[in-house]
Amino acid sequence: MTATDSPSVLLERVPARPVRVGLVAGGLGAYWPQFPELLPQLQDSARVVSRRLSGIGAQVTDVGFISDAPEAARAGEQLRVAGCDVVVIFMTTYMTASMVLPIAQRVGAPVLFINLQPTEAMDHPAMTTGTWLAYCGACPLPEVANALHRSGIEFRSVSGYLADEQAWEKILRWVRAAGVRGSLRDSRHGLMGHLYPGMLDVSTDLTMVSAQFGGHIEVLEVDDLRVRVAAVKPAQVADKLEQARQVFEITDSVVDEDLQWAATVACGLDALVADFGLDSLAYYHRGLEGELHERLGAGLILGASLLTARGLPAVGEYELRTSLAMLMMDRLGGGGSFTELQALNFRDGVVEMGHDGPGHLAISDSRPLLRGLGVYHGKRGWGVSVEFAVAPGPVTVFGVGQRRDGRYVFVASEGTVVTGPLMRIGNTTSRVDFGCHPGEWTDRWSASGVGHHWALGTGHRVADLRCLAELLDIDLVVVAP
């Protein structure tokens, strides 16, 4: 598979909402007439921070440099109006708590203090009072932390120096998490059809989704898809078929009529997503005896996989919490494919996991396959299914469980996808080594509160998920060896 064959190249991603970062830098104004060279140096450092945040694609509202409490109040009001996902307060030198509290009280967003001194250590023999003050950003941190604690305002802080990549990774982790939190609050999630009969764990309280994550749940009927599929033009189907031939290797088992139908449904699905402004979709419909609604439900795999690869997760079995987990994993940069347990390989020490139906093509290890199936196990209908494995390397499995009191819980575990024999039955399948006995891992994972399905994403993402869980006030359970 060449780079130009990669689904991530062939499929245009849905434009992701940029993280909205508010930035304010500050220091004590009493210093400026005493040490004339200090303020220009600190302002230069503030510009470095602003460029770094803008460089990750963030939408940065930089309100400049503040020197006293009245300027802080005005800056806080500007940031409140900007609707920030996170407000970064750069403590360039000493500043009073009265310069920080007005901002934190107004913004209505998570607050991140950063203390980045010019270099990793002072040149002590060359220091004057004025040059030392540029290294003094740590000095006010306990003071402002105390004031925010007493005011009931949560905050986070990162200390380091301007070129400290370890500190920047911590900063960007909080910024990414705040961006995902903001995306969830603005997202529209489609729920089409009905619950897979008997899957009690999948049942989800829609009010609790909006209460804990924000966003809107759009309840859809299969008929909303039916009327859009009926309106699809032959030229649209031809374009979708061409796209499928570019993205997939089409096996001999695929029946032309079934592929034509899958492409038609995919076009209708695109229209459904556009008309309702969806950011994710969970669906299931049983149907009976080959009637139209059954055929619609069976024809969704191609279109759902294409949407998922573009950053709009679409999953079967009415799995709303997993479509949310996939959306979060995707926005953190890990893709996120619809996943469940398939088998345990005690000989190789791996857990085999994946799913029949839609998957995240952009994280596949090779060109994905389309395979024709005469039957979908446990479901009505027949047609075209997707087959691939996630690329070898570090991965994270991540699910959203629900506790007895109704609150959600994040469950995650880091492992490594390794190569080896895979099933060839039209499923996504990956072999994951979690660094321990596969049976022991499975027992701990199952006891964690996770549901039947979860997201499988690339990279080790527990540190990112920990930040996101904290910002959402949701517990994170990490299943580790």
DSSP-derived secondary structure for 89-105? EEE-S---GGGTHHHHH
106 and 205: one domain? no
> What pTM value is reported for the model?
0.93
The average pLDDT across 209-223 equals: 96
Q: Which of 184, 215, 241 is the last residue of a domain?
A: 184
Residues 6+ apart with CB under 8 A from 119: 161, 162, 163
Strand partners, 281: 190, 314
221 and 125: one domain? no
Kindly report the CATH number assigned to the domain that includes residue 237: 3.20.14
86 and 232: one domain? no
CA distance 39 to 64: 12
Q: Is the dihedral of CA 26, 27, 28, 29 positive or negative?
A: negative
Question: Is residue 242 in some structural domain?
Answer: yes
Domain containing 178 equals 20-184
Confidence of residue 9 (pLDDT cuts 50, 70, 90): low
The average pLDDT across 447-453 equals: 95
Question: Is residue 2 in some structural domain?
Answer: no
- The pLDDT assigned to 424 comes to 83
pLDDT at position 4 over 50: no
Q: Which of 166, 184, 202 is the last residue of a domain?
A: 184
Give how many domains the chain has, as a whole number: 2
pLDDT at position 247 over 50: yes
- Residue 242 DSSP SS3: helix
- The pLDDT assigned to 375 comes to 58
- Residue 343 DSSP SS3: strand
377 and 393: one domain? yes
175 and 28: one domain? yes
Question: Is residue 5 in some structural domain?
Answer: no
Question: Is residue 15 in some structural domain?
Answer: no
The average pLDDT across 223-239 equals: 98
153 and 174: one domain? yes
Q: Which of 133, 151, 184 is the last residue of a domain?
A: 184
Question: Is residue 13 in some structural domain?
Answer: no
174 and 211: one domain? no
Mean pLDDT (the chain, rounded): 93
27 and 111: one domain? yes
CA distance 297 to 309: 20
- Residue 237 DSSP SS3: helix
Residues 6+ apart with CB under 8 A from 430: 339, 352, 353, 354, 389, 390, 395, 417, 456
200 and 149: one domain? no
Kindly report the CATH number assigned to the domain that includes residue 180: 3.40.50.10940
Confidence of residue 359 (pLDDT cuts 50, 70, 90): confident
Residues 474 and 386 sit within 8 Å (Cβ to Cβ) = no
- The pLDDT assigned to 11 comes to 85
The residue among 203, 175, 206, 191 whose CA lies nearest residue 58 is 175
CA distance 171 to 159: 9
- The pLDDT assigned to 327 comes to 97
Confidence of residue 6 (pLDDT cuts 50, 70, 90): low
Residue 274 CB neighbours (<10 A): 10
pLDDT at position 380 over 60: no
355 and 383: one domain? yes
For 286, counting Cβ atoms within 10 Å of its Cβ (0-12 exposed, 13-18 middle, 19+ buried), the class is: middle
Residues 87 and 132 sit within 8 Å (Cβ to Cβ) = no
Confidence of residue 41 (pLDDT cuts 50, 70, 90): very high
Confidence of residue 3 (pLDDT cuts 50, 70, 90): very low
Question: Is residue 347 in some structural domain?
Answer: yes
Residues 49 and 91 sit within 8 Å (Cβ to Cβ) = no
Strand partners, 25: 65, 90
205 and 262: one domain? yes
pLDDT at position 305 over 90: yes
Residues 6+ apart with CB under 8 A from 468: 177, 180, 181, 328, 332, 410
- The pLDDT assigned to 15 comes to 86
Question: Is residue 337 in some structural domain?
Answer: yes
308 and 279: one domain? yes
Confidence of residue 196 (pLDDT cuts 50, 70, 90): confident
The residue among 399, 398, 338, 400 whose CA lies nearest residue 363 is 338
pLDDT at position 72 over 60: yes
Question: Is residue 11 in some structural domain?
Answer: no
